[in-house]
Amino acid sequence: MEKLSALIVDDEKLNRDILEILILKHCPEINLVAKCHSAADARLKLESDDINLLFLDIAMPNETGFELLESIEKRDFSVIFVTAYNQFALNAIKANALDYILKPINFEELKIAVNKAVLTHKLKLQNGLQTTAHNENLNNLIGQINNNSNQITSLSVPTKGGYKIINLENINYFEASNNYCIIYMINQEEFIVSKTLKEFNEILADTGFIRIHKTFLVNKDSIIGYMRDNGITIELKNGKRLSVSRRRQALFLDEFNL
């Protein structure tokens, strides 16, 4: 597969150099095009080069990483935030950016994030995603950041030809599929997303979703009943039935005060 062209955007030279070393050593899938010291510098590179991925700092003088993204009309690239600060609407970032890495950088976390970038790019090519539609996930992120909300109400998911914003209330359940997740909607739509079930479980904490199995994360509001017969089986609004794993049965019963 062709390497992903990438930019590092960080106002501190030491941080730029450390990340470059880690990418060169651990991420052969990445072709590092340039290291940018400011949002303005990055904007010029984005205009002149075909960039697939941004390693983007958030807190920079004059213009933040979020402000850089908001200023770019065609954001046909993925974003991995690399920052020393963890107070920036973490759930919104996790839900809509490709990934979020805290400094000092752990190279294993970097490799995982880059792997997701590769998978996302592969899906994009396979589905023929358009630039204008590819903006939607970052638009959703910026909107939630501007609202100063840490409570996630929607997700951006890739579709054939673009991205779609889906409301959490319309999700039936998530199913793990290797390094991907399949999102099953109440209206029978399905979406494949390059995030793991563990990530969604963390992102959607306290939003009404419950992990019932190593494979399933379910919208509690979609559960219309359950049966006890050599274990626990739940029934969802669309008629789908899923088993609750034995190790999660006590948590399930406690969630519903049963």
Residue 105 and residue 28 share a domain: yes
pLDDT above 60 for 72: yes
Q: Is residue 165 part of a domain?
A: no
pLDDT above 50 for 2: yes
Residue 71 and residue 192 share a domain: no
pLDDT above 70 for 187: yes
Q: Is residue 158 part of a domain?
A: no
Domains in the chain, number: 2
Q: Is residue 160 part of a domain?
A: no
Residue 140 and residue 19 share a domain: yes
Where residue 198 sits, what CATH number does that domain have?
2.40.50.1020
Residue 139 and residue 17 share a domain: yes
CB atoms within 10 A of CB 250: 10
Global pTM value: 0.58
Query: What is the DSSP code string of the chain?
Result: -PPEEEEEE-S-HHHHHHHHHHHHHH-TTEEEEEEESSHHHHHHHHHHS---EEEE-S--SSS-HHHHHHH-S---SEEEEEES---S-HHHHHHHSSEEEESSPPHHHHHHHHHHHHHHHHHHHHHT--HHHHTHHHHHHHHHHHTT--S--EEEEEETTEEEEEEGGGEEEEEEETTEEEEEETTS-EEEESS-HHHHHHHTTTTTEEE-SSSEEEEGGGEEEEEESSSEEEEETTS-EEEEPGGGHHHHHHHTT-
Q: Is residue 197 part of a domain?
A: yes
Residue 139 and residue 190 share a domain: no
Work out the mean pLDDT of the chain and round it to a whole number. 83
Where residue 91 sits, what CATH number does that domain have?
3.40.50.2300
Residue 198 and residue 123 share a domain: no
Residue 234 and residue 180 share a domain: yes
pLDDT above 60 for 221: yes
Summarize the confidence of residues 147-171 as an average pLDDT.
Answer: 71
Show the domain range for 47.
4-145
